[in-house]
Amino acid sequence: MFPGTEEGPVDDSAKHGGRVRTFPHERGNWATHVYVPYEAGEEFLDLLDALLCRAQTYVPRLVRMEAFHLSLSQSVVLRHHWILPFVQALKDRVASFQRFCFTADRVKIYTNQEKTRTFVGLEVTSGHAHFLDLVAEVDRVMEEFDLSTFYQDPSFHISLAWCVGDARLQMEGPCLQELQVNSWRESRAGAEPEVMLWKGIVDEFEDSEMLLRAYAEQIRCKSGNKFFSMPLK
């Protein structure tokens, strides 16, 4: 499956928009991430285009994500020879889990821990407990391999767009004056500014309630350039 080498993929920031690695590349180390994939339909992409068009008037460097998912782990480093045992441990842990429905319809702004990247995401508003159960099992596998577990009190979300740097001030400041008009009901209810962002677009988009409801049908592990899928029952 992995013929002839223990080298991970070569890192070149120029090939991925100037993103900075969270940890330096070392021979034999493979960046590994566990997540639930999200398959975007045409209507979802239409909604995303509307959000991105508005967002780029404030942060022009924002770009759309190429693929969509909900993270169940941090990005961790695995040695090459631990990849298959790690994946097998994951399969054993999640074997009894059934697929479930969730909704992600609350727009929110995120940064990575190093504040080198900013993301626009849709936060999960129903199905949160199911994701917590999955994370608990993924965390147990991480502990078995002496790796970092997931964040405390995680905000599960689908990242929609990203940019290099910490752009929270641009998105929460100039945006807010305009969006308070679109989101006056939530403003009166005391919603946090970053939660209000673009809520008007999401709420007003045709069939957004059904559009932003989805099923978690599998867990996927990406290690380097290898993908491993674990279907839920």
The end-to-end CA distance of the chain, in Å, is 26
For residue 33, indicate whether it is catalytic. Answer: no
Q: Which residues contact 1 (CB under 8 A, 6 or more apart)?
A: 84, 226
Q: Is 162 exposed, middle or buried (0-12, 13-18, 19+ CB in 10 A)?
A: buried
- Count CA atoms closer than 13 A to 107's CA, side-chain side: 26
* Active-site residue, from 25, 33, 128, 157: 157
Q: Residue 32 belongs to what H/E stretch? A: strand 29-38
Concerning whether 69 is annotated as a catalytic residue, the answer is yes
Catalytic residue selected from 16, 25, 69, 130: 69
113's tokens: 């821990």
Q: How far apart are CA 128 and CA 145, in angstroms?
A: 26
Indicate which residues carry an active-site annotation: 69, 157
